[in-house]
Structures are given as C-alpha cells and as structure tokens.
Structure 1
Amino acid sequence: MFYLILVYLLSATHTVFSESGSHSLWVFATFLTGDSSAPFSEFTAVIMLDDIVIGHYNADERSFIPATVQESVNVTEQMTISTVGKGIHEGMKTKAYYLIDYLNYTRGLHVQQRLVGCELLRDEPGRMMTLEAFNGESGFERRYDVQGDQHTDWKWPVIKSRAQLEYDAWLYAHFYRPLCISQLRTYLKKEQKRVLAKVKPRVRVIKRYCREAGVVQMTCLATGFYPRHINLTLLQDGQPVNEERITGGQLLPNPDGTYQMRKSVELSAEEQRERHTYTCTVTHLSLDNKLDISIEPGPDPVIVVPSVLLLLLVFGLLAAFKIWRKRCSQPEQIIYIPTSAADDQTTEQRI
C-alpha cells in the first residue's frame, strides 16, 4: 500500500519530472501530531531514486537506514542524509504546531507532509521542487527551474521575516539543490543496473459486449514494463480518440516492480455499424519501434451448440466419469525397488 502511494505521488508530479532520459531524487516526509492510538512514528522520511526506494531516515536514532540490509553506508552519506533529515523534521514540526494554532485545531490527528525532489536531465542539473500539505490541503510550493529562476507560492500565512525568507531562498538555491544533485549522481552510479533496466510491455486488447445496451467496451492494456514512462494511445481511423471518451490511463505498479496502464473506450451500436478502424498504439523506451495492434469493434462471434450435440456431450462426460470411477475403485499398486541386490523386489497392494 505504501509503495502504491509513492507511485501515485510520482505520477501526480509527472509534469515536472517526465522527460525521457531524466532521473530524480525524492524525499517523502511525514510529521504526525495530536491524538493517535496507532503505533506510528512522529516523523518518517523515505528517500527514492526515480521509483526505487533507497532507504529511510530513522528519527529516533537520527540515522539513515538503507533499504538493502547488506548495503553499507559511508560516513559522508550518513552525515549528509542525517543532517538533511534532522533539518526537515525540525522545520515540519515548527510549521505543524503553528498551523494547528492558526487554524484553531484542538483535537484529533494532524498530518504535515513534505515532498522535496531534484532532477538530472541528460546528466545536466535540472529543476528542484518542494511541495507541502497539512491535513490534506496544499499550502506551500517552491520551484527552482533550470535557468535559476525561483518561484514560491504561499497559501498559508508567512511566519518568517523578509530576511529569513531571503536566507531560505539562498539556502535552497546554493546548498540544498547542489547537495541534492550531488547525491542523485552518487545513487545513479550505485544503482545504475536497476535504474537503467528496460523491460518490454506485454500488450493485449480486451473487449466486453453489453447486449442490452448494444455497447462494446474496448480496452488496451500494457503491463510488465519498466521504466514507468509509457505512451499508450487509442486511435480511431488513425487519429487519437477524444480524451473525454477515454477511461483509465492511470499508471499502476505490479508486485514485481514493473508497471501497468490501461485505457478504455465505449462504442455505441451506431459507431460499430460505421466500421471505423481502431488501433492500440504503444511507445516505450524498451521498444525499437512503436507497437500497433488493430482492434475489431464488433462483438466476438458466439458459438451456438445444437441441443442434440449438447446432450451427446453431457452423456459422454457421464460415461467417462463412470469409467474413471471404476478404475479408481481398483486396488492401487505401489512397486518398491530394492536398495541392494540382496533385497527382494516386493509388490504391495493398497486398498
């Protein structure tokens, strides 16, 4: 479930980190405060390279724990992540308590969330982004683009002075971004086999026919592919089907670390009679060329079995069952092969 949430968040930010050849490093942090009977930690932070979990920050021990138990962590990496994790923890804690007071929350469990990430685009430093939310409501966004321009959007009240805000902006641009880019390069080198792996999608077409309404639902499913970026399109007469008619399209994870996506469109009886041509087309980094699959819009033919043949089939199955039961009622023979030449070969009957 946790992995599914992370993939959803990654998919939700695809407009920022989606270019082919790009890689990103993310920190997903959560701070909990208030009434809670659940055994949750006050602060958790997970570090991800693209969609691979690298490890998490342990707030109790103030240390970085790698996802792979056998993986060693050098002193520099441990100090870097521990320092950043401690800073995020303290910053979120201060802001959460301020918002509880400002919004006049008194009881219940309150959740402060922060998403921080940077990217490399074809080995060149790319953008960096911070998003924050409190109890499910977005309230802060900061973006640092490739040209060095910084954009900050506050929905919550600003609790810092102008000098503090200017210092935060400088720190974001000249410390956190270079640090994030440096750590991203380090992890890319360490995890390049997993990150650069390419698995081709398996594509199939599914048709469902509703006889009462006379509607055919055509679904194009691509599954088992990696990396997660894929372009799946339904075409009518060579042109993309209107997006308003398309259902699905969400990127979903598979248990083996690959992904799946499906898109569906419904065709009325009139559209089926018009005999348009429909195509499911897929492009992916693992494919040399795009994959096109033609779809017949009409329902699949129904095989009607005459009643006489159906009766003969039923009687035949009953006769076969009786013969099988008669055979199985006979004693079963088990032959034991001797372990040496001195042993006698014996036959035992099991009733």
Structure 2
Amino acid sequence: MSGEGEGKGAKGAAQRRKLGKVDIPTVTMAHGGGGKAMHDFIDDLFVDAFYNEPLAPLEDQARFSIDALARYGDRLAFTTDSYVVSPLEFPGGDIGKLAICGTVNDLAVGGATPLYLSCAVIVEEGVSVDLMRKVARSMAATAVEAGVEVVTGDTKVVERGACDKLFINTAGIGVIRAGVKLGVELAQPDDLVIVNGVLGDHGATILNARGDMKLDTEIFSDCAPLHGLIGALLEAAPNTRFIRDATRGGLATVLNEIARGSEVGIEIREGQIPIRAVVRGFCELLGLDPLYLANEGKIVCVVAKDEAEAALAALRAHPYGKDSVAIGHVTDERPGRVVMTTVLGGRRIVDTLVGEQLPRIC
C-alpha cells in the first residue's frame, strides 16, 4: 500500500478504473517491487476491501477537514501498534481483526471516538494470496463494526525467513469528547475497579492454537472493538477516572500501573475476578497465572464510588459488557501496591512481571 491506498469495495475510485487482480497463489518479491504486480496486489487485496472517500484519490496521504474532526470533540488522539501474533488465525479472530480492534481500543480508552486508521503490512515471500485476502476482508469487516475507515497504508514484501509470514502495523486518529478527562494518575481512595467480563481468554486461546497443549474444550479469543462500550460507560459515569484495555501483562499489569501512577493502593478480591474454569485449569496445568494473561476485548475501569452503580448498569447493557463486575477498590493504604484477598482468606501482593509469561499474543 505505500500511500497507494486501500479501499472497501469496487465503488468510487474503483468504479473509475478497472481493478487489478492477482492470478498466482503466493506472494512474490514482485508484489513489493513498485510495478504492475504490486499495484495489482494492492488493488485485489486492499482497494477491493477498504474503499472510502479519503482513500479514493490514492495519494501518499489521507486528507481531512479540521471542521469535520471538530464535530466529535476538542482534542485529537493518535496511537500506533504493531501485530506479530502467531498463529495468524485463531479461534475468535485473526491478525487482521486484532490489528483493527487493538488500535480502535487504544483510542477509545482515552475517551476518543476512533475515526481513521492506517494499515502497513510486511509480508513474507511465499505467503498464500488467499490468506492475505482473507485477512484484508477480516480487517474491513471489523472496521465497519468499529465505525472507522482505513484511509492509507503501505506494503512491503521481504525475502523468505525475514519475517514470520505477516506483520501488520495500524495507526489511528480519534477525537476526544469534550469534557472527558481520563488518566492513570486520577484514581482516588474509595473508587471502584471494574472489568467488563471474563479475563484471560485471548492469551489462553493463542497458546492453545499453537498446539503446545491441545484442549478438548476450545477457547475463543475475546478480540472485539470496545468503542461503543466505552462510550456508554462515559455517558453513564462522566467522572470515570481511568480506562485501559488489559492486553499484554493482563489485569495485574494494569492494576500496578494505576497504583504507581496515582500513588494509591488497590485491593482486589480473587473470588470476584471472572475467569472461565477452562482457562483457570489450563493455567494450572502450565504453571501460568491468569491475572497476567492477555485480553483483547476487556477493559479495566476506575470509577467514582457514587457513579459505580450507573457504570455497571451501562456496561452490562452492552453485548461486550454483560458480565461486568466490580473486582475491588482503591485505598490510601500501601501506595503503589496491589493486594489480592484470596478465596481462602489470605492476602498476596500482585506484582508486575519482570518478563512475559506468554510471548507473541498480539
């Protein structure tokens, strides 16, 4: 894509010219070489999947009206992330869905309405064209659900062995709603800590999909765009202090970031933390702690005590938040520490991992 643009169907710009097609089964170095093969590759995979008006001119950049952006709020939010998950397809999603959801959620947790994304792909020579087409269509479908447009991008093809099949980078622009103020430093004693459902599904799914240990009961990734859920939360609880998606490092890492950032203590109750029995059992077999497993459809929220009931009601009314629950609260005791009361009545410190217990989960 290299500024060559991507698109969502053979409309608009695609109607003004005939789209190129790829007629061989695998990606070759020619598909990144700047010639007709590359343009056909971009047309077939990305222009056919992502068409939208900012993309249609196929310039080296997407162009936006400042007035149009200002309708959504008073501040811009900008983020980027790269996706190198292995395997590329897994129960509940694939690398394309993950790339859209991850960037949309990174914007949404800051109180922004996600609007525009870029997509840059690094493809290894020899990858199936049908797989690439499937990933592009998955991205397009997820973008529609999330209400965003993929408006610019880049394509690079590298020699065999130079990358692991496919890497994707997405960057995103959103506009923060007027009056919204969220930050890791804003948690206060007596605030409640809320999660929007069961934790650890994504991390367990990726490990299981690699075949390291195949479960009889299949686990599905929770990968989902959470902009709508977060919008409902902020409408019901406008004084929400903090929201973060619990991706790499899981719940434990996010809670420690809050404790350090706000110089407060956080107390959670093990019995209140929603984890599927199959995920808990999987972790026990492999010696993993589900509190550190990655999620791709779960947020951790710190909400003012007097707005907690309204926040939970709004979250539970949304399909991606029906299992929302308060798992603990903020305290002025033990600043910088996260302490969990176990189901046996004991207490343990929940610290940050030095490394990563499960690599390449996003």
| TM surpasses 0.5 | no
User: Could you tell me the TM-score, scaled by structure 2's length?
Assistant: 0.22
Higher helix share: 2
Higher relative contact order (CA 8 A, sep 6+): 2
